[in-house]
Amino acid sequence: MKPYLIRPPIGPSESLYGHLLRSAEANLVSPLRVSHRLQLMHPHQLKPANHATFVTGNFVENYHRRFKIEQKTIRSKLATKACSDKISWHGLLFDSSLIRSTPRICPICQQATPNLIKDQWYLEPYIFCHEHIYELAIHDHPQMPLALHSRDMISEVIIALDEIFSSPNFLNKRVNETQNLIDSLPLHRQKLDSSVATELSSLWPMKQFTLFSNMNLRNFSS
């Protein structure tokens, strides 16, 4: 199995799905083709909510060989099915309803590092970017900076998640206290609208999509 010629390094908090899209673009091949080479049916499987749908052992080996990324780094980014409805991810247990199928994005992060999709953005409780104190985008309306309240629980969760998710291979002492915060989040809170698709035109220029006429933009949006 040959590695790809161009192998973008994966960012500390970058999602595997985002890295696959970036790598496909860098190598001028379609994301679908890259996922087939990893013996996945579809790039969608690399969204965290779907990680449990493939055989992770083979996948880690294939991803490692194609992109020369350390296996432990790949494993640290994989969400696995734990007991019943829980998903284990970065050492934390999440109710599966807390994982978004489509990430929200921080517009300022996207300006600084275009095409980089962070793992954190897939989490329902993660509603603003800790780095920029900016509400993550789901709609086209202008985003307003949010005031940070130091003792606000959701702020604590977000700051802790950012630290943990940005330290692959390393489960720091915050994991336990963060787990307690997650467990005390109101579970039956109405799920925020995450049905809006990731803006893919910024990830993959339209002209490149047309090279693969069997592909449909919508395939990447849910």
Identified binder of Zn ion from the candidate list 106, 116, 137, 158, rule CB under 5 A: 106
Closer Cβ to Zn ion, 74 or 116, answer by number: 116
> Which range binds Zn ion by CB under 5 A, 39-47, 131-139, 156-164, 173-181?
131-139
- How many CB atoms are closer than 10 A to CB 151? 6
- How far apart, in whole angstroms, are the C-alpha atoms of residue 45 and residue 113? 23
How far is it, in rounded angstroms, from Cα 129 to Cα 144?
Answer: 12
Site string for Zn ion, 153-192 (x = CB under 5 A): ----------------------------------------
Which two structure tokens, joined as six digits, stand for 103?
Answer: 């990430």
174, 144 in Cβ contact below 8 A? Answer: no
Say how far apart CA 88 and CA 12 lie, in whole Å. 18
CB 40 within 8 A of CB 51: no
Q: Does 131 bind Zn ion (CB under 5 A)?
A: yes
Contact residue for Zn ion among 129, 138, 158, 164 (CB under 5 A): 129
Give the nearest distance from C-beta 112 to Zn ion in angstroms: 8
Residues in touch with Zn ion (CB under 5 A): 106, 108-109, 129, 131-132
